[in-house]
Amino acid sequence: MSSETFTTAMFLMAAIISAGVLINAIFPVIYTLSDTIASSTHQADERLRVDVKIVTTYASAGSQQADIWIKNVGTQRIAEADLEDSDVFLGAAGTFDRLSYAAVVAEGKWTYEIEDSNANGYWDAGETLHITGQTSDLPDTSGDVAYFQFVLMTGLSRSTEFTMSG
């Protein structure tokens, strides 16, 4: 009888030690996964809140300058510093150029103005962004197709093709 008790006690102690080792191995992994999931959920939520729509475009043939109006249709406001770090691509379809931000529009540059702004340093939901870009890559002939793409820091991208005016 005592040998059965001793064997049972040994199995019980082995089971308790195994459970402790297993718990010490699994819990850190669970905490790491929960942090990763929480971070991914926050990023996805942020991306869902940010949305913009290209309202209209205009470029006159031979002017090398285009005007684009974009509406913030999301619920998130976008800081002007983030706008200035955005990417703007403009030119003829297939031969466009990446423009860099500047306070004043010039060759290879783009600038913006927030219309209907309350001057709080943000592009708020419902406000319209007026982008002016200048590049020699725009078509010279009325009726030719131009390409525009706007990419925010979050990775949100909107593009359109439009016809040059006469």
Evaluate whether 150 touches 131 at the Cβ level (below 8 Å).
yes
Intra-chain end-to-end CA distance of the chain, in Å = 105
Residues 101 and 112 grouped into a single domain: yes
Residues 57 and 42 grouped into a single domain: no
Residues 139 and 92 grouped into a single domain: yes
Residues 91 and 147 grouped into a single domain: yes
Round the average pLDDT of the chain to a whole number and report it.
87
Q: How do residues 93-107 score in pLDDT, each as one tens digit?
A: 888 999 999 999 999
Residues 43 and 60 grouped into a single domain: no
Which residue has tokens 């089971």?
A: 15
Residues 65 and 27 grouped into a single domain: no
Length reported for the chain: 166
Please tell me the predicted confidence (pLDDT) of residue 108.
94
Neighbour tally for 48: CB within 10 Å? 11
Residues 83 and 129 grouped into a single domain: yes
Evaluate whether 128 touches 71 at the Cβ level (below 8 Å).
yes
Report pTM: 0.73
Residues 33 and 87 grouped into a single domain: no
How far is 28 from 12, CA to CA, in rounded Å?
Answer: 25
| 50 has pLDDT over 70 | yes
Please tell me the predicted confidence (pLDDT) of residue 43.
64
| 142 has pLDDT over 70 | yes
What domain range includes position 5? 1-49
Written as six digits, the tokens of 119 are: 């001057």
Residues 40 and 56 grouped into a single domain: no
